[in-house]
Chain A
Amino acid sequence: MSGRTFSVILLPTAECNVACEYCFEFKEPHRLSLENLPAMTKSILDHMDQEDFAECEIYWQGGEAMIMGPAWYVKAKELMDTAAEGRGRKFVHLLQTNLIGYSSEWNDVLFDMFDGSLGTSMDYPNLHRKMFSGSAEKYTETWRARLDEARSAGIRVGVIAVLHQGSLDVGAEAFYRYYVDELGIDDFQVNTPFPGGPANEAETEFQLDTTELSFFLGELFDVWMKEGFGKGVELGPFDALINHFSGKPARLPCIWKENCSNQFISVDSKGTVAQCDCWVTSYPDHYFGNIFSEPDLSRMLSESSARKEFVERPGKLVEDEDCLSCRFLSICHGGCPVRTFTALGTMNAKDPYCEVYKVVFGRAETYGGELRRIKHSPALEPV
Chain B
Amino acid sequence: MVPLPYLSAEEADPLTEDPFVLVARNALELCRWLAVESPGLQWIQVENLLDEPEVWATAARKGNDVALDVIVSDPAAQYAAIYRLVDVRNVRPVRVTIPVAEGFLKSLRLAVSVHLPVRLLPGQPGPKAISELEEALEYYLHDPMVEVPVEFFHSMLAQARGGSGPDLWVVTEQDPDVFALPDWTSPEEVGFVDQHFKQLEAAGAECVTCPWKVVCRGYFKFPDPEYSCAGIIPLFDRIGQAGAELKKDLATFEAANVGASAGAIDKNS
Q: Quick check: A329 and B113 within 8 Å, CB to CB?
A: yes
Q: Quick check: A52 and B62 within 8 Å, CB to CB?
A: yes
Instruction: Sort chain B's interface into a size bin.
Output: 35 or more
CB-based closest 3 A-B pairs: A378-B260, A315-B80, A330-B113
Q: How far is the CA of A327 from the CA of B259 in the complex (A)?
A: 37
For A381, give its contact among B60, B79, B147, B264 (CB under 8 Å): B264
Q: Quick check: B62 and A1 within 8 Å, CB to CB?
A: yes
Residues of A within 8 A of B114 (CB): 258, 330
Query: At the interface, yes or no: B57 with Cβ under 8 Å from chain A?
Result: yes
Contact A262-B87, Cβ < 8 Å, known A328-B145, A379-B256, A383-B264: yes
Query: At the interface, yes or no: B196 with Cβ under 8 Å from chain A?
Result: no
Residues of A within 8 A of B79 (CB): 318, 324
7 additional contacts, CB 8 Å, given A259-B86, A315-B84, A318-B83? A259-B83, A302-B57, A314-B83, A316-B80, A324-B110, A327-B143, A376-B253
CB 8 Å contact bits of B237-269 with A (1 = contact, 0 = none): 000000000000000010011011101100110
Nearest-neighbour CB distance to chain B for A167, whole angstroms, equals: 30
Query: At the interface, yes or no: B195 with Cβ under 8 Å from chain A?
Result: no
Contact A318-B253, Cβ < 8 Å, known A2-B62, A258-B114, A378-B261: no
Q: Quick check: B260 and A324 within 8 Å, CB to CB?
A: no
Query: At the interface, yes or no: A51 with Cβ under 8 Å from chain B?
Result: yes
Query: At the interface, yes or no: A365 with Cβ under 8 Å from chain B?
Result: yes
Q: How far is the CA of A331 from the CA of B57 in the complex (A)?
A: 22
Residue of B nearest to A311 (CB): B53
For A315, give its contact among B81, B91, B109, B147 (CB under 8 Å): B81
Instruction: Sort chain A's interface into a size bin.
Output: 20 to 34
Query: At the interface, yes or no: A319 with Cβ under 8 Å from chain B?
Result: yes
Residues of A within 8 A of B261 (CB): 378
Residue of B nearest to A382 (CB): B264
Query: At the interface, yes or no: A375 with Cβ under 8 Å from chain B?
Result: no
Query: At the interface, yes or no: A4 with Cβ under 8 Å from chain B?
Result: yes
Q: Quick check: B109 and A324 within 8 Å, CB to CB?
A: yes
Nearest-neighbour CB distance to chain B for A226, whole angstroms, equals: 23
Residue of A nearest to B53 (CB): A311
Residues of B within 8 A of A1 (CB): 62
Residues of A within 8 A of B257 (CB): 378
Q: Quick check: A383 and B86 within 8 Å, CB to CB?
A: no
Residues of A within 8 A of B112 (CB): 330
Nearest-neighbour CB distance to chain B for A323, whole angstroms, equals: 9
Nearest-neighbour CB distance to chain A for B246, whole angstroms, equals: 14
Q: Quick check: B80 and A329 within 8 Å, CB to CB?
A: no
- Chain A residues with CB under 8 Å of chain B are 1-4, 50-52, 258-259, 262, 302, 311, 314-316, 318-319, 324-325, 327-331, 333, 365, 369, 376, 378-379, 381, 383
Q: How far is the CA of A259 from the CA of B89 in the complex (A)?
A: 13
Q: Quick check: A369 and B86 within 8 Å, CB to CB?
A: no
Q: Quick check: A330 and B61 within 8 Å, CB to CB?
A: no
Residues of A within 8 A of B115 (CB): 330
Residues of B within 8 A of A3 (CB): 90-91
Q: Quick check: B80 and A318 within 8 Å, CB to CB?
A: yes
Residues of A within 8 A of B204 (CB): none
Q: Which of B60, B80, B83, B260 gathers most chain A CB within 10 Å? A: B83
For B259, give its contact among A50, A365, A378 (CB under 8 Å): A378
Q: Quick check: A258 and B110 within 8 Å, CB to CB?
A: no
Q: Quick check: B106 and A324 within 8 Å, CB to CB?
A: yes
Nearest-neighbour CB distance to chain A for B204, whole angstroms, equals: 43
Contact A315-B264, Cβ < 8 Å, known A4-B91, A52-B62, A330-B115: no
CB 8 Å contact bits of B87-104 with A (1 = contact, 0 = none): 100110000000000000
Query: At the interface, yes or no: B144 with Cβ under 8 Å from chain A?
Result: yes
Nearest-neighbour CB distance to chain B for A32, whole angstroms, equals: 29
Q: How far is the CA of A325 from the CA of B79 in the complex (A)?
A: 13
Q: How far is the CA of A259 from the CA of B83 in the complex (A)?
A: 8
Residue of A nearest to B106 (CB): A324
Q: Quick check: B86 and A262 within 8 Å, CB to CB?
A: yes
Q: How far is the CA of A378 from the CA of B112 in the complex (A)?
A: 32
Nearest-neighbour CB distance to chain A for B269, whole angstroms, equals: 11
Residues of B within 8 A of A52 (CB): 61-62, 91
Q: Which of A302, A327, A330, A365 gathers most chain B CB within 10 Å? A: A330
